[in-house]
Structure 1
Amino acid sequence: MQQFSLDIADREFVVLVGPSGCGKSTTLRMIAGLEEITDGELYIGDKLMNDVAPKDRNIAMVFQNYALYPHMTVYENMAFSLKLKKCSKEEIDKRVREAAHILNITEYLDRKPKALSGGQRQRVAIGRAIVRNPAVFLMDEPLSNLDAKLRNQMRAELIKLRQRIDTTFIYVTHDQTEAMTLGDRIVIMKDGFIQQVGTPQQVFDHPANLFVAGFIGTPQMNFFDGSLVKRNGRYFIETDGLSVELSEDKQQRLVAKDVAEQQVTVGVRPEHVIIGQSGIPAKVDVSEMMGSSVHLHMSALGGDMIAIVPLNGEAAHYPMGMDVKLSFGGHVVHVFSKDDSKNLEW
């Protein structure tokens, strides 16, 4: 971890997202006190935490492997930390049953973990954290061991849980879909550095650099070489005979930064690629029927391009090898520096 500086508001849901090895789990472990902080300071509220033992930080952590005691029942697993804190039996019973009710696992309280499904075990692990009434919930890839259907269900459960439990969540995942659906803010990381912090909409609409642009969004953004040129005080993107005037908001940002004409990397999301009668020549390699749309994988501009074409009830006719023309509007173009990969607008 290097040059990591982040403020998280009370009751905020913040997601740390990035590829494996980017430092997101290490960050979570430092917050939990499981990893030493060699430089810098960690505060929870107004209290410095660097030298505070993990058990005294008033946090609860949920791991991807559930970490349940196999010989204990669900009730006993959830009650264990409260027994260590010498809570009364009445208080323990009250907290366990309240958490079980929130997570819809009351009927499983007498079962042992081996009798539960993966989703049920994860609910128990979350319930064990809830009973502690922590100031901060730390969640380290809690859904990664579940299949796709269960992950979708548990994402919805976590959104509901967050609405019912008014506290701070710090959530780690490598899955940008989880990050986009769960987070108030997303912290995108790579190689131990923060690449961008913002709301899901901000990082999707205004990626700070090439990495963020390619990491956020499914299918990922198309990239190709182009030229940023200026004519009569107006900026244009030119590539392979296509000239696109940038939208007014982009003009203003580039003018404010006095961006010079230069060779650039152009980014356009698949949903913004237009298949029409004019534009850049392309050849269809693969056509994927997705129901309400078709995903076209094409060869264009010396590389691969993807377009999402809405069907609107019409049949799709894009056979392999078909020649098409593609274009895009000036309001959806992202322009990145060849030197440092940063978005030239920001």
Structure 2
Amino acid sequence: MTTATTRPSPTTDADADPFRYGWRLVPRPTPDNPYHLEQIPLTLDDVLHPEVGDFIVHSDRHETDRMYLTAVLRARLEPSRRAIVLSDVRIAWDLPDLRAHGPDVMVIPGVRKRRNWSTFEVAVERARPALIIEIVSLDARENDVVIKVEQYARAGVAQYVIVDDTGRGGVRRLRLLDYRLEGTAYRLQEPDAEGRVHLAIADVWLGIRRDHVVCYDAAGREIGDYVTVVRQAAKAEARAKQAATRAKEAAARARQEAVARAEAEERARQEAAARAEAEERARQEAVARAEAEERARQEAAARMEAEERARQEAQAREVESRARAEAEARLRELEQELRRLRGDA
């Protein structure tokens, strides 16, 4: 889940802008680009229950307050490892009928080691936020001041603080709503005389100065110069975004290289299959040639045998003919001799 302070398609009528809440990139492969992503506008329900990678549109002041609160709470809590502070990270609850949220700021005790979460899973980490702070965006105000009050109570979040904006016409008019969990429901607490609320887990007081939030320590001293803290937080967030961008680019390159390798392997497989088919055809042709040559040899041998038999039969006929001729000649001689003898008698 990512926040943004610009919109892809600004119009003069905010209600007519389908991207006024933000957008989601959905894979829509095309014949020319299998990695094509289509930009889909978010609904109020999407803002309430975001998915990883959603771009949710917020004002510049919203982002400034979020970065300031995150930086102050991290400085107060993380060096002592009392808790981790997450901002703009999706949280998946351990209740099957409660969908994930994307709080502006949440403080989670009981987690010793920070990891690069895109979604913090309560069931896996065995820890839940003790404090959530939401900074109201006017377009989605009901999500924060009505729906999440009931849902965060169900999730067991001990303190839920809302930086509410009741202003109109682009002018911020902020107030703080401090909900504390009593049993299974929230009870709204009154702020102190100066309009501040106590963030119990950090022992920090949160107040309003003109159009932005300010944190104070137990002695009432302002924690950090607002502008300095925000600039430091902005630089840190910019570095994190650059690192995330580099990681995405590296992942994209890795995917492209994997696709290229897969295509090369497929081509090699096809070429190997073609070679194997050619070799098989050559083997079959060689076998066919050998069988044809064998048949030709056998036919030649059969012809030779037939010719030899014919020759022998011709010789036998010739011998028989000579023998008959000789027998007939001898018979004639005997006949002549017989006639001669009869004449003499």
Q: Which has the higher contact order (CA 8 A, sep 6+)?
A: 1
Q: Decide: shared fold, TM above 0.5.
A: no
Which is helix-richer, 1 or 2? 2
Which is strand-richer, 1 or 2? 1
Could you tell me the TM-score, scaled by structure 2's length?
Answer: 0.23
Larger Rg computed on CA atoms: 2
